[in-house]
Amino acid sequence: MTTRTRLSHLQQLEAESIYILREVAAQFERPALLFSGGKDSITLVHLALKAFRPGRFPFPLVHIDTGHNFQEALDFRDRLAQKIGEKLIVRYVQDSIDQGKAVEEKGKFPSRNGIQTVTLLDTIAEFKFDACIGGARRDEEKARAKERVFSVRDEFGGWDPKLQRPELWNIYNGKIHVGENVRVFPISNWTELDVWEYIKAENIELPSLYFSHRRQIVWRENLIFPVSEFVTLDSGDQVEERTVRFRTVGDMTCTAAVESEANSLDDIIREIQTSRTTERGSRLDDKRSEAAMEERKRGGYF
C-alpha cells in the first residue's frame, strides 16, 4: 500500500508558488522579478531559489528605485543580490523626473508612488520584458482581489479588471499580443500571516525595519511617519522618539510605522494574529480615494 504524505498549509502554498514561477519560465521569453527589498519580494526570491537551484534564475531582479526608499531596504537588496549571485537591474524615478517624463509632487509628504509607474513601463520597454513577477497578495487591498495570478496588461501597461482570464484547475494562460505584458503574482493566495509563518519556518533573513527599534517620528492623520530628509516639517510638528516597526515597506513619505515591541518572528506573528488593522492601513497613498490602488493599477502600476 502506498502511503501519501499530506502537505501542510504552508507547504501547499509553497508548492503552488513554485509551480507558478516555473510556469513563468516555461511560457515567457523575457520575464523579470520585481524586487524591492520588502518581505514579500524577499519571500519570492526564496521561492525562486527553491524553484530553480542549482541552476540560475531565468529572470533578473528588477528594482524601480523611487529615491525615497529606506536605506535599510536598499542595503538589504544589494546584499541579497550579491549573496545569491543573480543579476540586479535598478532604474530610478529621479531619471524619469529629470527627463520630464514624470512630475514630482509638492507638499509636506511628496509621494513618488504613483509616478514610479512611468519608470517601470520604460524599464519594461527597455528590456522588452513580457512578464513581471510581483509580490502582491489578494488580502492586501480590495483592488488586488480582482486580479488573477496571470494579469494581462495592454500595450500601454493598463489593467482592466473586466478582462481577467479564468484560471481553472491552476491552468495559466500566458499568451499575449505583441506589446502586451503580464504581471504574475505567485503569492496571490497567501495572507500576511502566511508570509510571516513561512519566513519563520524557512528562517528567511529580513531588513531590520520589520522589527522593533527606536526612531524619530511625527504624527499625521493619526499615523506614525518616520522623520526623513524627504518630509518637510512644519513649525507645529512635534518630533518624538518611539519604539516602532514597519509592517510594510514602501517610500518613507507614505509608509507609516506601528508602535510595537515585537523584536522576534514569534512576537510579530502573535501581533498580527491579534491585530485589528490591515497591513496596508499604514500606507498613506491607499487613503487618497476609495479606489486609489485600482486607479494606479489601471495606469500601469505594479
Q: Where exactly are the structural domains of the chain?
A: 9-197+290-299, 208-286
> Grid cell 510638528 — which residue?
237
Share above pLDDT 70 across residues of the chain, in percent, rounded to a whole number: 88
Q: Mean pLDDT over residues 142-146, rounded?
A: 71
| Residues forming a β-bridge with 258 | 245
**Among the listed residues 55, 121, 125, the one whose alpha carbon sits nearest the alpha carbon of residue 93:** 121
146, three cell numbers? 480582482
Lowest mean pLDDT among 21-35, 185-199, 240-254: 240-254
The residue that leads in pLDDT, 278 or 93, is 93
The predicted pLDDT at position 163 comes to 77
The predicted pLDDT at position 115 comes to 86
Going by pLDDT thresholds of 50, 70 and 90, the confidence category of residue 294 is low
C-alpha dist (Å) from residue 247 to 40, 75, 302: 11, 18, 19
The predicted pLDDT at position 98 comes to 92
Asked if the 9-197+290-299 domain carries CATH number 3.40.50.620, the reply is yes
Task: Inform me whether the pLDDT recorded for 283 exceeds 60.
Answer: no
The predicted pLDDT at position 295 comes to 63
Share above pLDDT 90 across residues of the chain, in percent, rounded to a whole number: 56
Alpha-carbon distance of 62 to 119, in angstroms, equals: 11
The predicted pLDDT at position 220 comes to 83
Q: Mean pLDDT over residues 16-41, rounded?
A: 96
Q: What angle do CA 263, 244, 301 make, to 5 degrees?
A: 105
The predicted pLDDT at position 233 comes to 82
Q: What is the pLDDT of residues 150-169, one digit of tens each?
A: 988 888 778 787 778 888 88
The predicted pLDDT at position 166 comes to 84
Task: Inform me whether the pLDDT recorded for 73 exceeds 90.
Answer: yes
C-alpha dist (Å) from residue 178 to 36, 126, 155, 224: 28, 15, 8, 45
Task: Inform me whether the pLDDT recorded for 286 exceeds 60.
Answer: no
The predicted pLDDT at position 285 comes to 56
What's the CA dihedral at 302, 269, 218, 137 to 10 degrees? 10
| Residues forming a β-bridge with 153 | 181
Lowest mean pLDDT among 9-23, 65-79, 103-117, 181-195: 103-117
Which span out of 178-182, 264-268, 290-294 was modeled with the highest average pLDDT?
Answer: 264-268
Task: Inform me whether the pLDDT recorded for 206 exceeds 90.
Answer: yes
Are 32 and 127 spatial neighbours (Cβ–Cβ below 8 Å)?
yes
